[in-house]
Structure 1
Amino acid sequence: MRWGTYFAVCSAVISIGLALGVTMPLVSLRLESWGYDSFAIGVMAATPAVGVLLGASLAGRLAARFGTTALMQACLLLGALSVALLALVQSYAVWVALRLFIGVALTVVFILGESWINQLAVEKWRGRLVALYGTGYALSQLSGPLLLTALGTDTDSGFWTGVGLLIGGSLILLGRSGAPRVDAHSASGRGLAVFCRKMPAIAWAVMLFAAFEAMMLTLLPVYGLRQGFTQEVALFMVSVVVVGDAVLQLPIGWLADRISRQSLFRCCGLVLLVSSLAIPALLHTALIWPLLVAFGASAGGLFTLSLILIGERYRDDELVRANAHVAQLWGIGCLIGPLTTGAVSQWISGHALPLLMATGAAVFVVLAWRDEGLSAAPAEGHS
């Protein structure tokens, strides 16, 4: 196994997590300070999701033409340029366009990077290696809001920090090889409906975690503010959720290499359901902090186990194609989650965020117990 390449690719993708962890809450808090309502902030949070859908349709063709490594580097640099423009041109309409472009560029990096990581992983360590990547990514998002708290939200330092991180992610990929073989149609995004019918629980889990992640970074700080917490505590709540995601992914990956991955997948859904329902009742008690840890861990476990289950089934073109479908589903989740939560928060319930997550978790639990694809043998091409 190419350990140097594994850690380089992980680092490049993780640089995105840290950059987004710094910039996404800053965008939401800046809009809040400008007087925009929940729905407008939700629209901004959902905009990159449209870019995700576009990026998923372009990744394979672009990788076949320019090469996986070169394309990932170029997209990281384009993402850095877009974040720089967020700092330089502070206008809602311009920000919507920039967030759309960021979604396209960084989605290409995610598709190719996660395919590359899964391709490098040997089967007996797959759970731990994918979980290690997931832990690093979650820690990067944890560090983002903490770093933003240290930098402050009154200046554009958070944006410029994001620029530097994305440039660094591009540089670390210099000279790396061994990426999955990609032809022009591998990640075209075709066949999403077939993928969803074949593995409905995995498809829903990806959308649910995407909605969760978009809402944690963009709407949870606003939720905290509107429930009476200070800005510092609201940002700390985001960090605690991501701590749960980060700290417990390695134990989940370790378990995934030793017990039934399907059973573990279902258990994560149950924990997410229970913790989501409990948040409104325990929000102003000391129990909210361990509850937020469980909330983050169970949501993160759904995505980590989805990647593990996909990685044990596919290789090369099929793996890139499957990750393109993951990106499309991610885009749908990022689009629906913030828009729905922003609307419901404004017009129906201030506790829309945890209640909608509970609804999504309940759907997953039903699908996971009915999904025969979870117990199916790995697809052809497994080695």
Structure 2
Amino acid sequence: MRWATYFAVLASVLSVGLALGVSMPLVSLRLEGWGYGSFAIGVMAAMPAIGVLLGAKVSSHLAAYFGTANLMRLCLWAGALSIGLLALLPSYPIWLVLRLMIGVILTIVFILGESWINQLVVENWRGRLVALYGSSYALSQLSGPLLLGALGTEHDYGFWVGVGLLTVSPLLLLGRSGAPSSEASSVTFSELWGFARELPAIAWAVSLFAAFEAMILTLLPVYCLQQGFTADIALAMVSTVVVGDALLQLPIGALADYLSRRTLFAGCAVVLMLSSLAIPALLDTLLIWPLWVLFGASAGGLFTLSLILIGERYRDDALVRANAHIAQLWGVGCLVGPLAAGAGSQWINGHALPLLMAVGAFGLVLLLLRQGAFGPMTEPA
């Protein structure tokens, strides 16, 4: 196994997580300060989701044309440019366009990076190494809000840190090999429907986690502010959720190498449902802090297990296309989640964000009771 390449690809993807973690909450807090409501902020949060859908469609075609490593470098530099323009052009309509561009560009990075990692890892280490990716990515996102809290939200420092990270990280990929090959074809929504029918549990879990992540980075700070917490406490709560996501991914990945993934999926879904329901009741107590940890860990576990199963089944172009479908599902979740939570918070119930997650987790639990939730392949014991 090419360990140096694995860690180079890992580091380049982690730079994206840190760049998003330090810049995206700043966007929401700026909009809140400008007087925009939850729905307008939810619309802004949903724009990258449309970009995800566009990026997933063209990823395989562009990877065949440029090559996986070259395309990843180009997209990372384009992401740096887009985040820099957020600082230079503080306008709601312009930010909508820039967030769309960021969604397209960084989606391609995730598709190719996750495919490259899953292609590299050996089977008996797949659970742990994919979980290390998930855990490290979550930690990079955790570091973002913490770094933003240290830098302060009054200035544009968070944007410029993101620019610096995405400018330097492509250099790590120079001379790296072992990337999956790809064919010059688009990934269609009709193929996505077939993928979702074949692996419905993975499709639902990815969409749910995408909604979770989009809302945590964009709407959770606003939710906490609306519940009476200061900006510093709101950012600390976001960071605590990501801590939960990060801390338990490695144990979950290790268990996935030995235990039933269906059982692990069901456990994560149940914990996510119960923790989501408990948030409104425990929000003003000290118990909210360990609850945030469980909330993040259970949601992150669903995505880690999904990536493990995808890497187990596919190689090369099929692997790139499967990860493109994962990105499409991610786009659907990122689009629906913030819009629904933003609208619900503004016009129905102030606790719409956690209640929406509870409903999604309950739907996944019901799906897991069906035969074939993980497709026809027999799951290892």
Find the counterpart in structure 1 of residue 300 from structure 2: 300
Cα shift readout 1:323-352 (whole Å, capped 9, x = no counterpart): 000000000000000000000000000000
Q: Which amino acid aligns with 2:87?
A: A
Instruction: Give 1:284-323 correspondences, 5 Å limit.
Output: 284-323=284-323
Would the aligned equivalents of 2:50 and 2:335 in 1 still touch at CA under 8 Å? Answer: yes
Find the counterpart in structure 1 of residue 128 from structure 2: 128
Find the counterpart in structure 2 of residue 108 from structure 1: 108
- Count the aligned residue pairs: 379
Would the aligned equivalents of 2:23 and 2:158 in 1 still touch at CA under 8 Å? Answer: yes
Work out the CA distance in 1 between the residues paired with 2:269 and 2:106.
Answer: 27
Q: Which runs of 4+ in 1 moved over 6 A?
A: none
Instruction: Give 1:77-88 correspondences, 5 Å limit.
Output: 77-88=77-88
Would the aligned equivalents of 1:186 and 1:317 in 2 still touch at CA under 8 Å? Answer: no
Find the counterpart in structure 1 of residue 206 from structure 2: 206
Find the counterpart in structure 2 of residue 231 from structure 1: 231
Work out the CA distance in 2 between the residues paired with 1:122 and 1:375.
Answer: 22
| Partner SS state of residue 372, structure 1 | coil
Deviation at 1:186, TM superposition (A): 6.9
Would the aligned equivalents of 2:221 and 2:234 in 1 still touch at CA under 8 Å? Answer: yes
Work out the CA distance in 2 between the residues paired with 1:180 and 1:170.
Answer: 18
Instruction: Give 1:139-150 correspondences, 5 Å limit.
Output: 139-150=139-150
1:47 aligns with 2:43: no
Work out the CA distance in 2 between the residues paired with 1:162 and 1:148.
Answer: 11
1:260 aligns with 2:287: no
Would the aligned equivalents of 2:198 and 2:375 in 1 still touch at CA under 8 Å? Answer: no
Work out the CA distance in 1 between the residues paired with 2:378 and 2:99.
Answer: 37
Work out the CA distance in 1 between the residues paired with 2:95 and 2:72.
Answer: 23
Deviation at 1:207, TM superposition (A): 0.4
Structure 1: gaps spanning 5 or more residues: none
Deviation at 1:376, TM superposition (A): 3.0
Would the aligned equivalents of 2:57 and 2:186 in 1 still touch at CA under 8 Å? Answer: no
Q: Which moved more, 1:347-356 or 1:309-318?
A: 309-318
Work out the CA distance in 2 between the residues paired with 1:371 and 1:215.
Answer: 31
Work out the CA distance in 1 between the residues paired with 2:184 and 2:369.
Answer: 36
1:273 aligns with 2:284: no
Deviation at 1:185, TM superposition (A): 2.1
Q: Which amino acid aligns with 1:70?
A: N
Would the aligned equivalents of 1:215 and 1:338 in 2 still touch at CA under 8 Å? Answer: yes
Find the counterpart in structure 2 of residue 221 from structure 1: 221
Q: Which moved more, 1:268-277 or 1:257-266?
A: 257-266
Structure 2: gaps spanning 5 or more residues: none
Work out the CA distance in 2 between the residues paired with 1:369 and 1:133.
Answer: 29
Deviation at 1:371, TM superposition (A): 4.4
Q: Which amino acid aligns with 2:42?
A: G
Q: So what's the TM-score if we normalise by structure 1? A: 0.97
| Partner SS state of residue 183, structure 2 | coil
Find the counterpart in structure 1 of residue 352 from structure 2: 352
CA RMSD in angstroms comes to 1.2
Work out the CA distance in 2 between the residues paired with 1:256 and 1:347.
Answer: 41
Would the aligned equivalents of 1:19 and 1:144 in 2 still touch at CA under 8 Å? Answer: yes
| Partner SS state of residue 172, structure 1 | helix
Deviation at 1:61, TM superposition (A): 0.6
1:23 aligns with 2:27: no
Work out the CA distance in 2 between the residues paired with 1:180 and 1:135.
Answer: 23
Find the counterpart in structure 2 of residue 63 from structure 1: 63
Work out the CA distance in 2 between the residues paired with 1:340 and 1:169.
Answer: 35
Q: So what's the TM-score if we normalise by structure 2? A: 0.98
Cα shift readout 1:1-46 (whole Å, capped 9, x = no counterpart): 0000000001111111000000110000000000001000000000
Work out the CA distance in 1 between the residues paired with 2:91 and 2:163.
Answer: 19
| Partner SS state of residue 377, structure 1 | coil
Would the aligned equivalents of 1:56 and 1:189 in 2 still touch at CA under 8 Å? Answer: no
1:73 aligns with 2:79: no
